[in-house]
Amino acid sequence: MSLSNWAETKILNYLFSKAAFTPFTTKYVGLLAANPGEGATGGNCNEILNYPNYNRVATSPSAWSLSSGGLITNVVSITFAEVLENWGTVMFFGLFDSGVYGGGNLYLYGSITPSRVIVPGSVPRFDISALAVVLN
């Protein structure tokens, strides 16, 4: 899991009292076809194509565990809509502050191991504790 450069800057400025920082309440989980890299934004993060029925999935604070030892995981399943056409191979997930395809800021991203080929009729989902956000 990696923080984006945007998130690193926000957090460091907050920690050193250089700027206020209010984290977003709703977090949106998106599927990425390749490693976005730390310089990515919501618009250039290798998100899968904007296929029919693909949307970033909104999660509330209650969908995530309380941090323990620098680890937070999802405590509910995060489920996408049924796939209507081949979405291709998904290798990473991203956490965004916007549900708009191509919009907002990418906060962090992590790999999906093994990668998944998303085919019509499937319903992609992350089971409980499948997404782990770690700071160390």
pLDDT in tens, 34-62: 999 999 999 999 999 999 899 999 999 99
Domain that holds residue 27: 2-134
Q: Give the pLDDT band (50/70/90) at residue 28.
A: very high
Predicted pLDDT of residue 57: 98
Supply the pTM of this predicted model.
0.91
The total of structural domains in the chain comes to 1
What is the SS3 assignment for the chain?
CEECHHHHHHHHHHHCCCCCCCCCCCEEEEEECCCCCCCCCCCCCCECCCCCCCCCEEECHHHECCCECCEEEECCCEECCCCCCCCEEEEEEEEECCCCCCCCCEEEEEEEEEEEEECCCCCCEECCCCCEEECC
Average pLDDT, the chain: 92
